[in-house]
Chains A and B, each alone.
Chain A
Amino acid sequence: MSDTTISQGWFTSLANPTRFLALSGRVLPYLATAAVLSLVVGLYMSFAAPEDYQQGMTVRIMFIHVPAAWLAMMCYSVMAIASIGTLVWRHPLADVAAKTALPIGAAFTFLSLLTGSLWGRPMWGTWWVWDARLTSVFVLFLMYLGLMALHKAMDDPARAARPAAVLTLVGFINIPIIKFSVEWWNTLHQPASVIRLDGPTIHPTMLYPLLVMAVAYTLIFFTLHLMAMRNEILRRRVQTMRRQAAQAIGGA
């Protein structure tokens, strides 16, 4: 893939790891700054928001619980798209994207479960309940862990790429289940109040901090993801170089 090719789409030009490193290196500082800024603004708005008349200050947990849950699902969706990239177009960096998103997505899922539990105990009297949404998010967490175990078990990343992609896509059915679980089964977790056909039902004083925190979390995800992708590219380079060095020694 040298510069003698006539026309290169944006996606194909990103397929070259060196070019990706250069581009991401330029974008990263701006991305990171935007993430930090939006996080600071979001945190300020979260603590400046009025206290809920029923829940008091505990409602502030919502501002880190809901974005974490949204990111947990978005991260898996990013992995699913990357998996399609691996299987259908064999994009060279697609499996890097899928593999590096795993620990970040697992962290967000863990946080959504943890903050949800810490919110549930004072508000609804229980640390945990096996209702539809909590169960399906827990299943999502298990899927993240399983995929991480799969990558750990295979030392050659190129071999793990396609099986992992297949498994990711098979598991994607869990995402709509999580989203619609609160509508299909009416249990403890409250129904949707933001992403609804009729529009959000939260009051703006609560909605805006929530949206800003969601933006902040999204920027944080992309920052961490880009950094992790760069690391993974470097890791594979090291592997290749080591293999070449070993072969040179063997041949000498």
Chain B
Amino acid sequence: MIALLKRDLAIATRSGGAAMLGVLFFLAVVAVIPFGIGPDLNLLARIGPAILWIGALLASLLGLDRLFQADREDGSLDMLVMQDWVSLVLTVFVKSLAHWLATGLPLVLAAPLLGLLMNMSATATGAVMLTLLVGTPAISFIGAVGAAVAVVLPRGGLLVSILILPLAIPILIFGVSAAYAAVTDPDPFWPPFMILSAITLFFAALGPVAAAAALKGASD
């Protein structure tokens, strides 16, 4: 399993892997906001956490179809699917984890720079980084289901985003809620943060199982 993790990471970070593409898209979305909304610094600071979260969500969603694509292209997907149930679920789990490390984690690390662009305070940026750290794995895990469903389609990428978006909305809601709670005084931080963590753990269990079911089903 460690070998699989390393292999997936290597594939994702080499030149054709487009892991940096996610971060660049994140940057593009956030950078465009001030152009559209205007340079009102107070407004930017107020909506900053939400914009960062939306950008991270979109960047994660767009990178999801890559989860199984490399394996489909070189034919190893068929061999992975032939495994027994438990191995396949573990495989998907490890691949999702690798996907997060390559796509989601860079978003977390890029957040401080983007927080600067949105004139966010250090507390706000820190809260966004923490919630992104806890929440983006959930996107990778539940995104695996969409990626598994759409892997057989030629232009499946956009469909994956459409399919997973309804399931990712709670992640966004609680992530932003916790981030804002850290900045606005009377708002409680721990309840939404705990729920966000719970969603991540739940999707970490549900995502690989459902994705394995979808992969096995599509290959029958």
Contact = CB atoms under 8 A, between A and B. Distances in A.
Contacts of B214: 162-163, 166-167
A15 B181 CA distance: 54
Given A153-B150, A167-B163, 12 more contacts: A87-B213, A135-B173, A139-B166, A146-B162, A146-B163, A150-B150, A150-B159, A162-B213, A162-B214, A162-B216, A165-B217, A167-B149
B167 interface: yes
B109 interface: no
Contacts of A171: 166-167
A79 to B, nearest CB: 14
Interface of A: 87, 135, 139-140, 142-143, 145-147, 149-150, 153-154, 159, 161-167, 169-171, 174
A162 B217 contact: yes
Contact of B169 (A139, A147, A163): A139
B101 interface: no
Contact of A166 (B153, B166, B169, B213): B213
B214 to A, nearest CB: 4
A166 B217 contact: yes
A163 B217 contact: yes
B185 interface: no
Contact of A169 (B148, B162, B210): B210
- Give the top 10 A-B pairs by smallest Cβ distance, nearest first: A162-B217, A163-B149, A142-B166, A166-B214, A163-B214, A146-B163, A139-B166, A143-B166, A166-B213, A146-B162
Interface string B154-165: 001001001101
Nearest to B202: A173
B73 interface: no
Given A154-B153, A162-B220, A163-B218, A170 B210 contact: yes
Query: Chain B interface: which size bin?
Result: 20 to 34
Contacts of B152: 154, 159
A153 B217 contact: no
A159 B218 contact: yes
A167 B144 CA distance: 11
Contacts of B153: 153-154
Nearest to B142: A170
Contacts of B169: 135, 139
B159 A149 contact: yes
Task: Identify whether the interface residues of A are mostly helix, strand, loop, or mixed.
Answer: helix
Contact of A87 (B145, B148, B217): B217
Contacts of A161: 217
B5 interface: no
Contacts of A154: 152-153
Given A162-B220, A163-B214, A153 B159 contact: yes
B117 interface: no
Given A139-B169, A153-B153, A166 B145 contact: yes
Contact of A150 (B163, B166, B210): B163
A158 B80 CA distance: 22
B149 A166 contact: yes
B206 interface: yes
Contacts of B206: 170
B167 A170 contact: yes
16 contacts: A140-B166, A146-B165, A146-B166, A149-B159, A153-B150, A159-B152, A161-B217, A162-B214, A162-B217, A163-B149, A163-B214, A164-B149, A165-B217, A167-B163, A170-B167, A170-B206
Contacts of A135: 169, 173
Contacts of B156: 153
A32 B146 CA distance: 38
Contacts of B145: 166-167, 170
A21 to B, nearest CB: 26
Nearest to B163: A146
A174 B142 CA distance: 14
Nearest to A144: B166
A164 B220 CA distance: 14
A140 B170 CA distance: 13
Contacts of A145: 162
Contacts of A167: 145-146, 149, 163, 210, 214
